[in-house]
Amino acid sequence: MKLYPIRGGIHPEYRKELTSKKTIVALPLPLALYIPLQQHIGAPAEVLVKAGDLVKKGQMIARSQGVVSSPQHATTSGRITAVTQVAAPHPSGLPQTTVVLEPDGKDEWADLPEPFADPFSADAHAIHERVAQSGIVGMGGAAFPSAVKLNLGTQKKLEILLLNGAECEPYLTCDDRVMREYPNEIIDGARIMAHALGTPRVIIAIEQNKPQAIEIMTKAASAFAEIKVIGVPVQYPMGSERHLVQAITGRETPARKLTADLGVVVHNVSTARAVHHAVRFGRPLVARVVTVSGRAIREPKNILTPIGARIADLVEFCGGFAQRPESVVNGGPMMGQPLASLDAPVVKGTSGILALTAEEINNRPTNSCIRCGSCVTICPCGLSPLDMAAYIRKDNLEGAAKLGVMDCFSCGSCSYVCPSHIPLVHYFNYAKGMLKDLENELRKNDRVKNLAEVRVIRIEKANEAKKTALAARKPAPATTAPPSNTGETKAAPPTPEEKADA
Amino acid sequence: MNIATTSGPFTHGYNTVQKTMITVLLALAPATLFNFYLFGLPSILLFAVTVGSCLAIEAGCMALAGKPAKTALSDYSATLTGWLLAMSLPPWAPWWIGLLGALFAIALAKHAFGGLGQNVFNPAMVGRTAMLVSFPVVMTAWIMPHPLFSSGSPGLAEAIAITFGGHMPDTVSAASALGYIKTELSRGIPVTQSMAKVPDLMDMVLGYRAGSLGETSAIFILAGGLFLMSKRIISWHIPLSLMGSLFVMAALFHAVDPAHYASGIFHLMSGATFLGAFFIATDYVTSPVSKKGQIVFGIGCGLLTWLIRNFAGYPEGMAFAVLLMNGLTPIIDQYTRPRAFGRDSKGEPLPLGKP
């Protein structure tokens, strides 16, 4: 099949050999599991249990709230000891509401929903419902609720389900291992998803640095004419949804549109496997494979981890640190987030935990920009990082926005190649945050302004009504109070005396 | 609880400013060494004075700015500026040309604008043109090659007298090919006739001709340029568009009126065409960052070089052409930004439905 070139990109040292030959091993049940209510993009789940409750594996402990949300399930059987605040796996280390589960060691499954005997004759809606109820989110890292994406078939005409097995981030091998060890589960999940989406074709894209995965997946897919496995060039960030779609179809997703608008829906390979489990066995998403790697880890591994295990548990299972890590990263080294604490739990979007040495990170003091233009050449989004950074340094966020900083998805390629080691992504993340705040502020102002205008109109109308009423029955006293009166007195600014009192 | 303050990525490439500069210096070395051999000891002395002055002035400027001089010197950018400046001077020019040129290059063109990466104009070319405009006689005192160890090559004492004493032997001066043709043309002698007296093509390619300290050998400079391309320090865009446009203009006018216009090959091989195309115009700081912009920039340099060589007062035009285009670089950059993913060239989202 013909592939299309994508713009820019880099070829970092992949360092996947640290774990690519390591078979997936299961983490022994830790003493406690910490299951956050928010592990996905969207609204946090609403908790259904309280301290002291006994739960079984796969039992729903928090239900989804709203359209874009996802439920949480007990990841083993045991007792809820608390619903409390625990540090989130986020750079801020801020606490979030988390269910603490003490395993009883039996790992007993709850009564699970009935498996679908023949999912391909089932109604698409029933499959969405099952995926939603199973708490499945995108397992490539973004953690967007998968059911919402599976629903796109009802709104748009879809042609291709594209399974993303590119795994373009250095170090990470969890998808590679899942593809090599559970190819049939992925293929079955993919077929179910294609059925639910109504896409006639399935393409599984795998970067060519995973030849075994390509071979095994091709073999597993050979029985199904609609499924095609394609090796894509090794070029970071090939795994970016929009870029992968461009490489496969040659079509560029317009800004502010979805790949689904081009008829392509992208799901991660591990997500397909989770769908297989949910539909064929009724099992919700309670575990995932996490690559624990980096040269500061004594024994790097691919670990099947129950959701909620502490990162410290994983590190300990890998023999602890061989040396003091310079940074511990949640995700891949390019787009992953630094961790503030090892006490944070593994969540559904955790693809890797990397303990990196200073040598691996190879960061250096920042120099002046020499305008070499490398960042412009490699930017996969066609932006001019050096110019945006210059604006942001002068706090000219508007200028940076005009140059498209909001189109940047922080792939990190520019920071990677910069010979002056300018922390470009850091600038862009800062600008994006500030610009979002600014936009929210503007929206808030607009809303306040609208409310104020509406209020003025309302008062005028009331006054008008009062006048006409007065004019109609002149002799009557004007005691009928307009309904907006109470609001008016409340909103009135305080007099100087009142201010002084305060 | 400590908050992680560093943002990704958590892996970085191995390229540094220092490595880039050293690679460029390496690429310049063969052409420089060959010209040391051709022009002898005085050229080596002038080179040492120029590079040394640049380093000293860089250190001085950093000290004035209250910044550590050591870090500035260790990026080798001042060394490179000095090296390129020296390569663009007449090989037997006196020491103060090197020193003054360095002052213009480093203090005025670089640090007055804010130091590394902030300058609008190529420092080495500012140094060279300031000298050329101020001291036109000294700056056009070309000599024919006097290879080291040959009988005509000055000894150490003589070299010191030439560089530091200002004793330019009368007998050795020669015109550069471009200068010669221009003078002859002004005397009414057509190019077709004067071409007979300039070095033949073989000498031009090898560099056995009169010219600046480092610019004469097309073949060694080409080798250095190709080395830089293989190391991905520079790309083909500027050199090719510069030489291409210069060649096309020259060839076109030569075809129409050979009596007044020298051939395309002649323009490519003479003056600073190769040095300019591969090492001067490709200076990161003062050339556009996008590939599209680099092509515009290269074509501009090529056209201006040809115009200046043919119609302006100076026989050589590369330095002026590059400086003029340097001034246009910010504007070129602004109009040649790449198209963003999913957007048209105006920044609007692409229309849907386009296959």
With CB atoms and an 8 Å threshold, state whether A362 touches B349.
no
Q: For residue A140, name the pLDDT band (cuts at 50, 70, 90).
A: confident
Give the residues across from A304 on adjacent strands. A26, A289
Length of chain A equals 502
- For residue B231, count CB atoms less than 10 angstroms from its CB and return exposed for 0-12, middle for 13-18, buried for 19 or more: middle
pLDDT recorded at residue A258: 92
Count structural domains, chain A. Answer: 1
**Positions of chain B with pLDDT under 70:** 1-5, 170-172, 353-355
pLDDT recorded at residue B165: 87
DSSP structure string for B273-315 = HHHIIIIITT-TTTS-SSHHHHHHHHHHHHHHHHHHHHHSS-S
Q: Two tokens at B172?
A: 């050795």
With CB atoms and an 8 Å threshold, state whether B12 touches A362.
yes
Distance CA A406, CA A404 (A): 5
Length of chain B equals 355
With CB atoms and an 8 Å threshold, state whether A419 touches B17.
yes
Sorted by sequence, the CB contacts under 8 Å of residue B45 that are 6+ apart come out as B95, B159, B160, B163, B164
- Rounded mean pLDDT, A368-395: 95
DSSP-assigned letter for residue B104: I
Mutate to test the interface with A, among B7, B10, B282, B283 (most CBs of A within 10 A): B10
pLDDT recorded at residue B197: 82
* Closest to A72 in 3D by CA, of A82, A83, A81, A62: A62
Nearest Cα of chain B lies from the Cα of A331 at a distance, in angstroms, of 10
Does any domain span residue A353? no
Q: Two tokens at A369?
A: 């920009």
User: Residue A492: pLDDT above 90?
Assistant: no
Does any domain span residue A46? no
User: Residue A482: pLDDT above 70?
Assistant: no
Element (H, E) at A26: strand A25-26
Sorted by sequence, the CB contacts under 8 Å of residue A229 that are 6+ apart come out as A203, A204, A206, A214, A217, A218, A221
Residue type, A154: T
Sorted by sequence, the CB contacts under 8 Å of residue B20 that are 6+ apart come out as A370, A372, A419, B233
Distance separating the N- and C-terminal Cα atoms of chain B:
51
Helix axes B17-65, B77-87, angle to 10 degrees: 100
Give the residues across from A228 on adjacent strands. A203
Mutate to test the interface with B, among A376, A418, A430 (most CBs of B within 10 A): A376
| Phi-psi label, residue A380: left if phi above 0, alpha if psi -120 to 50, beta otherwise | alpha
Helix axes B318-335, B123-134, angle to 10 degrees: 140
Nearest Cα of chain B lies from the Cα of A448 at a distance, in angstroms, of 30
Cβ contacts of B75 on chain A, cutoff 8 Å = 367
User: Residue A495: pLDDT above 50?
Assistant: no
Q: Which of B9, B287, B339 sits opposite A416 (nearest CB)?
A: B9
Nearest CA in chain A to B338: A382
Q: List pLDDT tens digits, range A430-475.
A: 999 999 999 999 999 999 999 999 999 999 999 999 999 988 877 6
pLDDT recorded at residue B4: 60
pLDDT recorded at residue B166: 80
Distance CA A252, CA B47 (A): 53
Distance CA A195, CA A105 (A): 38
Does any domain span residue A26? no
pLDDT recorded at residue A164: 96
Q: Cite the DSSP H helix spans in B166-313.
A: 177-186, 191-194, 201-206, 218-230, 237-256, 264-269, 273-275, 291-311
- Rounded mean pLDDT, A371-376: 95
Distance CA B25, CA B235 (A): 17
Cβ contacts of A242 on chain B, cutoff 8 Å = 341-342
pLDDT recorded at residue A141: 80
pLDDT recorded at residue B131: 96
pLDDT recorded at residue B129: 96
Q: Which of B12, B16, B291 sits opposite A361 (nearest CB)?
A: B12
Those of residues 277-306 in B touching chain A at CB distance below 8 A are: 284-285, 287-291, 294
Work out whether strand A352-356 and strand A337-338 pair parallel, antiparallel, or are unpaired. unpaired
> What ipTM was predicted for this assembly?
0.90
User: Residue A476: pLDDT above 70?
Assistant: no
From residue A142, alpha-carbon distances to A93, A138, A257, A324 in Å are 18, 6, 17, 29
Asked if B351 is an interface residue toward chain A (Cβ–Cβ < 8 A), one would say yes
| Phi-psi label, residue A412: left if phi above 0, alpha if psi -120 to 50, beta otherwise | left
- For residue A23, count CB atoms less than 10 angstroms from its CB and return exposed for 0-12, middle for 13-18, buried for 19 or more: exposed
Distance CA B18, CA B22 (A): 6
Cβ contacts of A361 on chain B, cutoff 8 Å = 10-12
pLDDT recorded at residue A419: 95
Q: For residue A491, name the pLDDT band (cuts at 50, 70, 90).
A: very low
Average pLDDT, chain A: 92
Those of residues 306-345 in B touching chain A at CB distance below 8 A are: 333, 337-343
Nearest Cα of chain A lies from the Cα of B47 at a distance, in angstroms, of 25
A301-306, strands of its sheet edge to edge: A25-26, A301-306, A287-293, A352-356, A327-330, A337-338
pLDDT recorded at residue A500: 43
**Domain range holding A418?**
369-488
Distance CA A367, CA A293 (A): 30
Q: For residue A487, name the pLDDT band (cuts at 50, 70, 90).
A: very low
Residue scoring higher pLDDT (A305 or B195) = A305
Residue scoring higher pLDDT (A499 or B282) = B282
Sorted by sequence, the CB contacts under 8 Å of residue B133 that are 6+ apart come out as none
Does any domain span residue A420? yes
- Rounded mean pLDDT, A411-439: 94
Q: List pLDDT tens digits, range B56-106.
A: 999 999 999 898 888 778 899 999 999 999 999 999 999 999 999 999 999
Does residue A162 sit in helix, strand or coil? strand
pLDDT recorded at residue B3: 53
- Rounded mean pLDDT, A402-416: 95
Q: For residue A498, name the pLDDT band (cuts at 50, 70, 90).
A: very low
- Rounded mean pLDDT, A108-134: 94
3-state percent helix, strand, coil for chain B, nearest multiple of 5: 65, 0, 35
